[in-house]
Amino acid sequence: MVFNTFKFIAFIILLLALYNKSFAQQELITKHPIEDLIDNIASSSDDEIDYTSLYEDMNFFLNNPLNLNSASQEDLERLKILNDFQIKSLLDYIKQHGKMLSVYELQLVYGFTMNDILTILPFITISDTPVDAGFKFKNALKYGNNQVFLKAQDIIEDQVGYSYITDSALLENPNSRYLGSSYKAYVKYKYNYKNKIYWGFTAEKDPGEEFFKGNNKNGFDYYSDHLQINNIGIVKTINLGDYQAKFGQGLLLWSICR
């Protein structure tokens, strides 16, 4: 009896030690900056990576964790942390065993290591899939997620194309210098409501381009926008503007609808 009690106490202590170690590792991963995870993803992938979109997606999931019980293959691919085998294994597990009850149930999914689980924890959640009560415009306005990404770039060193020139010299040789400033500006706005609406636009000004004056009175010299609507009324899916289409194994095709 004493021996069994000793084994039971030892077992409890072991569980607590493993839990504390796992919790400490989870806290460490959670506190890692997104940039570190992006570096790890980039170093393990042979595909060309859009770092701006990757950063935005990971930041989105950090603030809006992905519910694995309702996540689609596209949602899991967008997360970029899991490989194709892990995604298929996870979807097959949920299909076979039903909704997951805890994130730690991922230990039972074939292809997931503890390190994989700790890495993905800050970006996921496990909850019952709510019943869809239908799309309501007021809910989209109130509960929609908004993201704004701003980037500016300039070269500190003096450049010939931006050096001072007199008006008379410029008139004689219009191509002797750039008309605009040397900085590059980039603005991206994204809105989404659940998996119903995705909308956003991108604006960019290249170095040397005028800004809200001269030949470029519209401000940025490049504008782009996109709109995606899913499962609203009779609409199954509508895509307008920029979109990404993926075919086969890792082949990316970028297109713009006009």
- Say whether 113 sits in a helix, a strand or coil: coil
Q: Which two tokens stand for residue 111?
A: 């292809």
Please state the pTM of the whole predicted model: 0.51
Which stretches of the chain score pLDDT less than 50?
A: 1-3, 18-19, 21-31, 131, 249-258
With contact defined as beta carbons under 8 Å apart, do 57 and 64 qualify? no
Q: What is the pLDDT of residue 45?
A: 65
Extents of the domains making up the chain: 32-125, 137-256
Give per-residue burial for 50-76: e unless 16+ CB within 10 Å, then b: eeeebebbbebbeeebbbbeebeeeeb
Q: What is the pLDDT of residue 133?
A: 55
Q: What is the pLDDT of residue 110?
A: 93
**Looking at the domain covering 32-125, what would its CATH class be?**
mainly alpha
With contact defined as beta carbons under 8 Å apart, do 204 and 226 qualify? no
Q: What is the pLDDT of residue 89?
A: 94
Task: Give 60-116 pLDDT, tens digit per residue.
Answer: 788 788 899 988 888 888 888 888 999 999 999 999 999 998 888 999 999 999 988
Rounded to whole angstroms, the Cα distance separating 228 from 225 reads 11
